[in-house]
């Protein structure tokens, strides 16, 4: 059975890449281009993973993270960002992010992260 994952990013090609790469490797990939779409999906589906871009215009990825964690606390969230900072990393971890990755994220790195997160859950 495929693992349900929510990928939120305003970059359609990134969503396409994730759909292709993760889909082939046993993930049930659901994508959202913004906060509203993501929240709508969260209402109807249960996810094991969420891959969230930290900079999610117009709203903030951190804000979305806290809403996701409030609704589905057991969900494992992985934050991805092009502008990694110590502050945002600390903030994300405090809210409950399981990992914090810098873009560009290689596929190998990403799969490794999933494994790490699962084993340390």
Partner 1 sequence: MAKKQDELESLRTRLSEAEETLEAIRSGEVDALVVGGAEGDQIYTLRGADHPYRLLLQEMNEGAATLTPEGTVLYCNKRFADMLRRSMEKVIGYGLDEFTDFRSQTLLDALLRSGRHIRVKEEIAFTTPEGRVPVYCSIGPLHLDDLHCLILIATDLTEQKRSEEILASGKLAGEILEHAVDVIVVCDEDGEITRASRAAHELAGVNVLHRRFDGVFRLVEKNGTGLSCSVATDGAVRNGTIIATCLEGRIIQGAEVEFVRADGRKFDLLMSAGPLRGSNDEARGCVFTLTDITRLKAAEEELKRSQAQLSAELSDTKLLQGISAALVQEENAQGLYEKILEAAVAIMRSDFASMQILHPEGGNGGELRLLANLGFSSEVEKLWKCVTIDSESSCAAALRVGSRAIITDVTKTDWLPAASRDAYLQSGIVAMQSTPLLSRAGRIVGMISTYWAKRHEPSERDLRLFDIIARQAADLIERKRAEEALRESEDKLRRQARELEQQLIASGRLVALGELTASMAHEFNNPLGIVLGFVEDLLMDKPPSDPEYQALKIMQEESKRCQKLIQDMMQYSRPRSMEKRRCDAGDVVEKSLQLIATRLSKQKVESVKEIQPNPPPIEADPRQIEQVLVNLYLNAIDAMPHGGKLTVSVASGGESTLVIAVSDTGNGIAEDDLPKIFQPFYSAKKKSGLGLGLPICRRIVANHGGKIEVESSPGAGTTFRVSLPVQVDAAVNSQSAA
d(CA 99, CA 65): 12
**Measured between alpha carbons, how far is residue 89 from residues 7, 12, 17, 56 in Å?**
19, 24, 24, 15
Q: Which is nearer to partner 1, 95 or 105 (CB)?
A: 105
86 binds partner 1 (CB under 8 A): yes
**Minimum separation from the CB atom of position 94 to partner 1 (A):** 20
Binding pattern for the stretch 87-116 against partner 1, x by CB under 8 A and - elsewhere: ----------------xxxxxx--------
**Binding span for partner 1 by CB under 8 A among 10-18, 43-51, 60-68, 89-97:** 10-18
E strand residue ranges, the chain = 3-8, 27-32, 49-53, 76-81, 97-102
């Amino acid at each position: 059975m495929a693992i349900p994952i929510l990928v939120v990013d305003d970059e359609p090609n990134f969503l396409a890449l994730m759909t292709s790469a993760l889909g082939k490797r046993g993930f049930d990939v659901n994508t959202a281009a913004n906060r509203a779409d993501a929240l709508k999906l969260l209402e109807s589906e249960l996810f094991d993973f969420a891959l969230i871009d930290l900079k999610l215009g117009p709203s903030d990825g951190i804000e979305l993270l806290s809403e996701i964690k409030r609704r589905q606390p057991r969900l494992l969230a992985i934050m991805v960002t092009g502008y990694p900072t110590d502050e945002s990393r600390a903030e994300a971890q405090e809210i409950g992010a399981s990992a914090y990755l810098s873009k560009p994220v290689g596929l190998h790195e990403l799969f490794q992260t999933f494994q790490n997160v699962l084993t340390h859950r």
